[in-house]
Structure 1
Amino acid sequence: MRYGYRRVHVLLDREGWGINIKKVYRIYRELGMQLRNKTPKRRVKAKLRDDRAEAVGPNDVWAMDFVHDQLATGKKLRVLTVVDTFSRYVPVLDARFSYRGEDVVATLDRVCRGTGYPKTIRVDQGSEFISRDMDLWAYQRGVVLDFSRPGETNRQRLH
């Protein structure tokens, strides 16, 4: 993950450092840290990463993504799908014409009140999943967002 000084400030604040954002920026710059332009994709195979832990029970790991379709009228439809990777139970299958980060949070909050909160949610790098609303929701409820790594396929993520 690449973090800018603002994200570093939020993480430090959550750990109780209580540090001013201007000081974080100054130290960030002194250390030579900065968000660089994305490098081109490597032609060589990525080095092996640690395997993700398998789900050991219900509500342990959920996988979440969007499915897209189009109506006969040409209007596009997005379906938020959430799957419990242990039991294959689908707590959410919610279709809408547009989905934003706060819509995902509202849907998850509604569903989790009835089924319980998962320990981990596996998501991709979609704008709805990396939003501030989603990050804050997960932090406040003790849910870990496990972002997919570049080069992973859907099949690898769900297993």
Structure 2
Amino acid sequence: CLTCVDDFTKECLTVTVAFGISGVQVTRILDSIALFRGYPATIRTDQGPEFTCRALDQWAFEHGVELRLIQPGKPTQNGFIESFNGRFRDECLNEHWFSDIVHARKIINDWRQDYNECRPHSTLNYQTPSEFAAGWRKGHSENEDSDVTN
């Protein structure tokens, strides 16, 4: 599984289920997220081969995205995603026996939807990630509309 979580809103943008994920597949996943979120300024990852490959490096350069790789053996440098992945493993992966990849994708997507839409976070003033993100986007777009100068 490839998990992508927004550090600011805490939204789980995707949990991609596949038997193996290459760097090229990572770039396609990130492009699909960018269709509705835009390209991020920074992406922080571990040093897995799918993140240290030429395809992702080229993609980042082309889209002006800074790649920040944590040091090997230092998961605390990416604490939020490590915590998220632990929660995902404990609450979803370890709780289900998947009959096939289609079944896994359904269960995992249901878990992701619950995580985003039903679980308030204290760091988000007890809003769900979806509520916080929607409120931020609304406020951000209102500010942009009122502060536009040419």
Q: Quick one: which of 2, 7, 13 aligns to 1:91?
A: 13
What pairs with 1:58-97 in structure 2 (closer than 5 Å)? Answer: 79-97=1-19
Aligned residue pairs, count = 80
Please state if 1:129 is matched with 2:56: no
The superposition leaves residues 118-137 of structure 1 with CA deviations (integer Å, 9 ceiling, x where unpaired) of: 11100111110011110000
Query: What's the CA shift for 1:107?
Result: 0.8
Work out the CA distance in 2 between the residues paired with 1:84 and 1:122.
Answer: 10
What runs of 5+ residues in structure 2 fail to find an aligned partner? Answer: 81-150
Work out the CA distance in 2 between the residues paired with 1:151 and 1:132.
Answer: 22
Structure number with the higher helix fraction is 2
The superposition leaves residues 42-76 of structure 1 with CA deviations (integer Å, 9 ceiling, x where unpaired) of: xxxxxxxxxxxxxxxxxxxxxxxxxxxxxxxxxxx
What runs of 5+ residues in structure 1 fail to find an aligned partner? Answer: 1-78
1:38 is matched with none
Structure number with the higher strand fraction is 1
Conserved? CA contact 2:46–2:72, under 8 Å: no
* TM-score under structure 2 length normalisation: 0.50
Work out the CA distance in 2 between the residues paired with 1:101 and 1:151.
Answer: 21
Conserved? CA contact 2:41–2:66, under 8 Å: yes
1:150 is matched with 72
1:101 is matched with 23
Taking only the aligned residue pairs, the percentage that are identical comes to 39
Work out the CA distance in 1 between the residues paired with 2:16 and 2:59.
Answer: 19
Q: Quick one: which of 21, 36, 40 aligns to 1:114?
A: 36
2:113 is matched with none
Work out the CA distance in 2 between the residues paired with 1:83 and 1:120.
Answer: 12
What pairs with 1:8-87 in structure 2 (closer than 5 Å)? Answer: 79-87=1-9
Conserved? CA contact 1:101–1:134, under 8 Å: yes
Query: What's the CA shift for 1:91?
Result: 1.1
Q: Which has the higher contact order (CA 8 A, sep 6+)?
A: 2
Q: CA RMSD in A?
A: 1.3
Amino acid at match of 2:2: L
* TM-score under structure 1 length normalisation: 0.47
Amino acid at match of 1:86: F
Work out the CA distance in 2 between the residues paired with 1:86 and 1:158.
Answer: 13
Conserved? CA contact 1:85–1:158, under 8 Å: no
